[in-house]
Structure 1
Amino acid sequence: MKCVQCKQEKLSKEFPPSTITERCQHISSYCLRCLIAQLKDQNKTQRKCPECPAILTPQEVKALELAWDKAPFKIDVNSIGKIQPIIPDNGNITTGEFHVVMLNGQKTTLSLEENKTIIALRSNIFKKLQVNQAKQKLIYNGVELQDTVDRRPGNLSDYKIGPGCHVQLIVVLYNITRAEALKSLVFDLHWGYPANGSQDYLDGSCLLYAGDTFWRKYDYASVYYPSFPHMKHSGDMMDNAKKEGHQRIAAKLDQLPQDVTQLYFVLSSWKSPTIGHFKTPSFKLYDEAQPDKELCTYTIQQAANSQAVILCCVSRAGEGMWQVIQVGKFSAGNANDYDPIEISIGECALHG
């Protein structure tokens, strides 16, 4: 997403996570750095939003300044593993700290002393992040870390992981094998209108990629392509009497072209500035033949302060095989402006 002030492309996390004041009806187009600079240049007795007439209270200004002071180090996921540590002649680094980074940008710091083997690393990730070992896919320098190497326990030193290195953690929620023959994948979304009762849309979108290249999307406007009948979006199904909305996406995985490697499922707010404005939003991702078996679980309330969230990715893992991967990455953008969402997907670096 490009900041309107400095004109630079920024990560979504470099922008305020929600409206800068309750009186704003828009997501900030100023990155946090530029916003703080703008506020500092204003009269301290009456600071206002640089994009609308809304006046900020001293408490709101202080909250923004605190958010800037505590802004986490921005991790470039695309460069994970590309900066190599200095390795001693014996190939072993036993002291120092390294980092495990999830697709949503969450970073956990671990010590090399306590994680000499890949098995120990998986165990400590479970203790710190509660991610089951069987669901952990660990990537460093483009290579997946293996529990065994040459018929012995795999070590971090086998992959030249040393102090300051970043290991990517991909959470595989579900493996779809050829034997399961999952044919029809369904994304089912429900939501209640915002508290003011006005009709609004919580959009469910599916963005298809061929490697790192965007291929096409399915949303309320792009519901069906006659030349590609294997996916369909229901469009908006609104019940004004109950003040509820519903959308559904169906995809026949076994009919998708081999070029399609990822399906990203995204939630975004249409009119309201954030997802948190909607009442009781819920979704299910499931096999149409087994509707009670959910393939992805995510608490939407985690994204209450975000305009959009990339929920998960269904990624091709081989001929007839797929993996459902947890993402949970917040983003700006919506079904009227996918550019920030595509940038956020690119930051995941999850290409087939």
Structure 2
Amino acid sequence: MSISLTKGQKISLEKEAGGQLTRVVMGLGWDAKKKGGFLGMFGGGAQEIDLDASCVMFDASGQIVDTVWFRQLQSRDGSIQHTGDNRTGAGDGDDEQIIVDLSRVPQSVTALVFVVNSFTGQNFSQVENAYCRLVDQATGREVARYNLSATGSHTAQVMSKVYRHGGEWKMHAIGENASGRTFQDLLPVMRANL
């Protein structure tokens, strides 16, 4: 059974998955709120909102080792892959996914920080049903889910961190609101949560 995480909560991925995880998927999903129209007849369609999921790989000193985002769909070492950019949020299920082979992440990498940002600049008050979730790729079982705040004027959020601790991988639901159109704009917030 999946755990619904709250801001600041930390979990052991192996304990929650019931065994060692090797490949996980960080999924991001969202829907654009419908535009208001006269009695819902005119201008009531959904707007297009381009949220982007990114993963930044950090070493123990807080330096960036590599990044995976819509302009670089795979880490240089091949351990992390982005499945591609969804520019509207349309459709069911995850709109963007980042697949991580934990067994291939270099030992120098101590934390993987996952962020989401509105590339088109709309704030999260215009988004609904937004979430990130971690799935065991081998079984398809959802390990953890974090519902993203869909209110406020922020245009980005540092969603979560998957990190090494005591020889195992853990997850920290950060949920820190921020502003920015790409992961680079969020680096100060990410580093503050390492």
Give the TM-score normalised by the residue count of structure 2.
Answer: 0.77
Please give the alpha-carbon distance, in whole angstroms, between the structure 1 residues aligned to 2:113 and 2:83: 17
SS class of match (2:78): coil
State the SS of the aligned residue for 2:109.
Answer: coil
SS of aligned partner of 1:176: helix
Distance 2:29 2:127 in 1: 10
What is the rounded CA distance, in whole Å, between the counterparts of 1:243 and 1:286 in structure 2?
Answer: 16
Residue 209 of structure 1 contacts residue 263 of structure 1 at CA under 8 Å; is this kept in 2? Answer: yes
- In structure 2, the partner of 1:271 is 120
Map 1:71-150 onto structure 2 (within 5 A): none
Paired residues of 1:201 and 1:245 also in contact (CA < 8 A): no
Aligned partner (choices 307, 318, 324) of residue 171 of structure 2: 324
CA RMSD of aligned residues (A): 3.0
The equivalent of 2:42 in structure 1 is: none
Q: Mark the CA change 1:183 to 1:279 in structure 2 (over 3 Å): closer, same or farther.
A: same
Task: State, as a whole percentage, how many aligned pairs show the same letter.
Answer: 20
Match among 200, 214, 218 for residue 49 of structure 2:
200
The CA deviation string for residues 292-344 of structure 1, in whole angstroms up to 9 with x for no partner, is 3323x32213564321111111111144x111112111111132x623x1101
The count of residues paired between Structure 1 and Structure 2 equals 176
Residues 267 and 304 (structure 1 numbering): CA distance in 2 closer, same or farther, change over 3 Å?
A: farther
Query: What is the CA–CA distance in structure 1 between the aligned matches of 2:89 and 2:139, rounded to whole Å?
Result: 30
Q: Which runs of 5 or more structure 1 residues have no equivalent in the other structure?
A: 1-169
Q: Which residue identity is paired with 1:180? A: G
In structure 2, which of residues 144, 148, 170 is the aligned counterpart of residue 300 of structure 1? 148
> Which structure's residues are more often strand, by fraction?
2
Residue 152 of structure 2 corresponds to residue 313 of structure 1: no
How far did 1:172 drift? Answer: 1.7
SS at match of 2:9: strand
Question: For each residue in 1:170-207, what CA deviation from the matched residue of structure 2 results, as whole angstroms up to 9, or x when unmatched?
Answer: 63223437x92211010112222343433221111111
Q: Would the aligned equivalents of 1:185 and 1:287 in 2 still touch at CA under 8 Å?
A: yes
Unaligned ranges ≥5, structure 2: 1-7, 36-45
Q: Secondary structure at the match of 1:282?
A: strand
TM-score (norm 1): 0.45
Decide whether aligned partners of structure 1 residues 267 and 203 sit closer, same or farther in structure 2, where only a CA change above 3 A counts.
same
Select the structure with the greater relative contact order (CA < 8 A; seq sep ≥ 6). 2
**Match in the other structure for 1:172:** 10
Q: 1:243 to 1:271 in 2, by over 3 A?
A: farther
* CA distance in 2 between partners of 1:191 and 1:311 (Å): 14
List per-residue Cα deviations over 1:58-87 (Å, max 9, x = no partner).
xxxxxxxxxxxxxxxxxxxxxxxxxxxxxx
Distance 1:233 1:314, change over 3 A: same
Residue of structure 2 equivalent to 1:186? 25
User: Which 4+ stretches in 1 moved above 6 angstroms?
Assistant: none
Q: What is the CA distance between 1:242 and its match in structure 2? A: 5.6
Check conservation: 1:193, 1:245, Cα contact below 8 A: no
Contact 1:268 1:275 (C-alpha < 8 Å) held by counterparts? no
- Counterpart of 1:8 in structure 2 is none
Post-superposition Cα deviations, 1:30-74, rounded to whole Å, max 9, x if no partner, equal xxxxxxxxxxxxxxxxxxxxxxxxxxxxxxxxxxxxxxxxxxxxx
Write the distance in 1 (CA, Å) between the matches of 2:192 and 2:126: 26
